[in-house]
Structure 1
């Protein structure tokens, strides 16, 4: 029954929530949660420890950290700076090799021409790139012993290049020999409240386009030869999710109405996943493949991309850009 229903989401947290709502216990998966009441930041860590757990969750074995910060959608520079500092710590915890210095390749995934998918390219725009300076003048020319060697690419999408993104990354990795890759991509969410307010960091790599059903080859340690840290922010939600959430609200309203209380009884035996599948079948075929993004996505994606780039600059350069 679990395999039959697939709710489109890139967030491991939402996959875990889906099973909990259906009272399904997932073996080999651990969930830990922390909440900072003052800043309203919730951090959830999902650890998939076994292959059985990975198969059930539909995600590789590894650690997935989700930071939910409702105020990320607000243009508050001080708040975003705090989020950047916290993100830097989480990313640091996933750096695979603790050594004196390392080289990192940052990959900005996505299509710059499509705003909800432009997160990765925007992040690279604001990065402090240092590899060329190190190669030309050496480490000490930078005046900071703790600064790491950072290079970055924006490989575009297959429709622009005719190549799988993983092929491009594999070639760059073979030539430049970084210690690990940090890949940034826009994600799809199951819950519209998480759009542009959530950041997921994973040590398992990433499968570009999987949340919107546009499956591309994964960018993982197995496919590129070195560890891959994935950073993603959900920027779109599919139409079926919005209709499903509306239906849930309607059923709750019906249950609170004495006159219409019995109308929603027929749906009470359905699990969350079954309701979602029913909605997908009922809505117009034209809506079934539609993904929706907030109207202020232009400003929001630029703001959040800057927050992520600042986190990377803090971690790899020891300072944020001015």
Structure 2
């Protein structure tokens, strides 16, 4: 693969955006449904990758991907968006049950390790570490007061770690987490990370929850060892919010919008003139409108998707290709969104304890 191809890949961590990119209402190996809560305005989309066909179509591992979209997340809320926390908690609780992680079934509190991925020194990447700052760890209570303490008080056995990034520690995140899992023996891992989106409109207002783990740094092209059930030996759930969007994606979407405007505003005028010429040259042409409609449809392909993408690559080359963009108020957003995620984790785990 050429360097240019790597630099101008329009990346996204969201399964929903990968699904939107694939044409066709029915895709083999993919199941999708969506619903909306009218009272809260929260929209939930479930994308299930069922088999290898779905993996190939979306480029995502087999598993469940739940996307919560809430426009209210764009604004600061004194209650830290409790309605979103409760919705996320319910979805996370459902995933835990599907994997048999219930106190009733296990006869003891669920032992969970929460991992806050990201660089706390880089604000758009600090979501994971910020969530860990608000986490109410309880594992030390079990160690100090005995194994029945958490069960009697309805607490989960909850621990957390912020492993940092490789440039800081000299170690892969997966190496650190594997060591902790082997030593503390949790039943499950919840990974929290900042994601990359394809659409700027989804920054900070979309939360993805999955049961497939996570590939640290994949959204911005930094491929690291994955944190998955295959690598850790226990279920791994991932919670993420997109905080950055590639410059290529922004320009790509702009070209798409421009194309639609050209089709609607310019294309129609040109086509009307072409139709007049065609009618003058061939008076016997069928005038029922069907042939003119087909001609319009062909000529309205002013900029195809591939042509748009090639134009984006030429415009961005060579300086803007690897650039990522984040909202101007990212520091404030990370602060209050980290509370929203931590409260969702508390709500899900303390209720299942």
Using the size of structure 2 for normalisation, the TM-score is 0.83
Q: Over the residues paired in the alignment, what is the CA RMSD in angstroms?
A: 2.5
Contact 2:208 2:239 in 1 (8 A): yes
Which residue of structure 1 lines up, in the alignment, with residue 230 of structure 2? 222
Question: Residues 181-220 of structure 1, C-alpha deviation per residue, up to 9 Å, x if partnerless?
Answer: 0000000001110000000000000011111111111110
SS in structure 1 of the partner of residue 250 of structure 2: helix
SS in structure 2 of the partner of residue 44 of structure 1: strand
Structure 2 residue 211 is the aligned partner of structure 1 residue 177: no
Q: Which moved more, 1:76-85 or 1:307-316?
A: 76-85
Contact 1:199 1:232 in 2 (8 A): yes
Question: Residues 114-133 of structure 1, C-alpha deviation per residue, up to 9 Å, x if partnerless?
Answer: 00000000000001100011
**Structure 2: how far apart are the matches of 1:61 and 1:224?**
17
Q: What number of residue pairs does the alignment pair up?
A: 313
Structure 2 residue 217 is the aligned partner of structure 1 residue 209: yes
Q: Displacement of 1:224 after TM fit?
A: 1.2
Contact 1:196 1:235 in 2 (8 A): yes
Which residue of structure 2 lines up, in the alignment, with residue 289 of structure 1? 322
Contact 2:12 2:197 in 1 (8 A): yes
SS in structure 1 of the partner of residue 320 of structure 2: helix
Q: Which moved more, 1:4-13 or 1:245-254?
A: 4-13
Structure 1: 5+ residue stretches without partners: none
Q: Displacement of 1:269 after TM fit?
A: 5.5
Question: Residues 198-252 of structure 1, C-alpha deviation per residue, up to 9 Å, x if partnerless?
Answer: 0000000001111111111111011111110000000000001111122222223
Greater Rg, structure 1 or structure 2? 2
Using the size of structure 1 for normalisation, the TM-score is 0.90
Question: Residues 46-87 of structure 1, C-alpha deviation per residue, up to 9 Å, x if partnerless?
Answer: 000011211221110000000000111111234701111111
Which residue of structure 2 lines up, in the alignment, with residue 270 of structure 1? 304
Q: Which runs of 4+ in 1 moved over 4 A?
A: 139-144, 258-263
**Aligned 1:1-322 pairs, distance under 5 A:** 7-20=10-23, 23=24, 25-78=26-79, 80-95=81-96, 96-100=99-103, 101-138=109-146, 141=149, 145-258=153-266, 268=302, 270-271=304-305, 275-318=308-351
SS in structure 2 of the partner of residue 300 of structure 1: helix
**Structure 2: how far apart are the matches of 1:93 and 1:64?**
13
Structure 2: 5+ residue stretches without partners: 1-5, 104-108, 272-298
1:277–1:84: structure 2 CA closer, same or farther, 3 Å change rule?
Answer: farther
